Amino acid sequence: MPKPKSRLIKSIAAESTINTALANITKVHEQTSAAVDAVSKASKKLAKEGAGLTRKRSTLNRRIVMLKKRIKKSNNADDRKALKSAERELAAVKKQTTKTVALKVKTADELRGLKAQAKRSSAYLAATIKIDKALNKPRKKRRKRRTKSDV
């Protein structure tokens, strides 16, 4: 049995497919740009939160050292309570810092990937716009050649 001939695409279908592809590239470019903005904003927020936790941890460590010295001099119940409280707070801060660092790493990886895809979609969009502009230029009108009889 002979193979059936493959169906040829019509010009309207080809144009529709091309227009859909261009629309998809534009849509992806807009979405990746918005995603880069949102994720970079979240990344900055995490960085700020991490810096705050680092400062808090540093302060707590100094307070603990100070309280330990004070307890050595005079064993006071209030100082012991304050030391226990500071140590608990330090443990909570360390736990939060671990979570924040893990989230920062995950966000940084996502941001790196999004930036790469945004760059790629931007390049594709720029190239298609340039090509479209070149293809849609009106054809130049050619001047008639002058013949000897015209002179």
Please report, for the chain, the start and end positions of each structural domain, with discontinuous segments joined by +. Answer: 18-122
What is d(CA 28, CA 124) in angstroms, rounded to the nearest whole number? Answer: 11
Q: Splitting the chain (151 residues) into consecutive groups of 10 residues, what average pLDDT does each group show? A: 74 92 94 96 95 96 94 90 95 96 95 95 93 85 74 56
Residue 115 has a CB neighbour count (10 Å cut-off) of 15
Residue 48 sits at the vertex; the CA angle it makes with 87 and 50, to the nearest 5 degrees, is: 35
Q: What is the pLDDT at residue 150?
A: 60
